[in-house]
Amino acid sequence: MQIRIRLDDDLHTQLEDRAKGRGVSVNREIAERLEASFASEVMDKPSGPVGGLLELVTLAAQTAGHGALLASSLFVETAAEWTDDSVAYEQAVRAANRVFDALRPKGSASIDEPIAALVMQTTNGILGEIANNQPRARESARRTELLRQALGPELVKRLQTALAKKGKENSK
């Protein structure tokens, strides 16, 4: 569907700059931002220290990923998004881990094996729900749908591949 909207010059320039930086059209930038705004209404966003921590991790990962992608593009042809470039992605992971390390509480990080196994099982369950579009609870159906949309088909496919690979390794 096609619609016409009026934007002030500053907002239009911001949209153009962001779209250009991501290598997408202004139309796609606007559509994805609108979709994200609806998604944020449905998904519970943590507040307080957890929300702040996640915002900081996001900022660090985005900044490192975009920076590494930009630096790489000076020497070789790179992907349009840092999530599609292995070097830039690794830098984003390192940046996110640096934030977690910097804010780690004092004390021992050792955990009993049964608890660690339960945490991994829970995490793999969440990833499986998203990868296979099979929410385990009715309440998580909308969240699963929104996360799949936000990730996009390429990242969902990567998630499916990673989980299938992990399943094969566990069955050996």
* pLDDT tens digits along 41-72: 656 677 889 989 999 999 999 999 999 998 88
* Domain presence at residue 1: no
Residue 19 burial (CB count, 10 A): 18
> For the residues 154-164, what does the mean pLDDT come to?
94
Kindly state whether residues 98 and 123 are assigned to the same domain: no
Averaged confidence pLDDT in the chain: 88
Contacts of 79 (CB under 8 A, 6+ apart): 69, 85, 88
Is this prediction's pTM over 0.75?
A: no
Kindly state whether residues 51 and 91 are assigned to the same domain: yes
Q: Total structural domains in the chain?
A: 3
Look at residue 104 and tell me whether its pLDDT is greater than 90. yes
* Domain presence at residue 3: no
Which of 18-22, 82-86, 89-93 has maximum average pLDDT?
89-93
Q: Final residue of a domain: which of 91, 109, 127?
A: 109
Q: What does the alpha-carbon distance between residue 140 and residue 162 come to, in Å, rounded to a whole number? A: 22
Q: Final residue of a domain: which of 109, 137, 155?
A: 109
Kindly state whether residues 53 and 65 are assigned to the same domain: yes
**In this predicted model, which residue has the larger pLDDT, 124 or 46?**
124
Domain around 135: 112-172
Give 121's pLDDT tier (boundaries 50, 70, 90): very high
Sign of CA dihedral 14, 27, 45, 81: negative
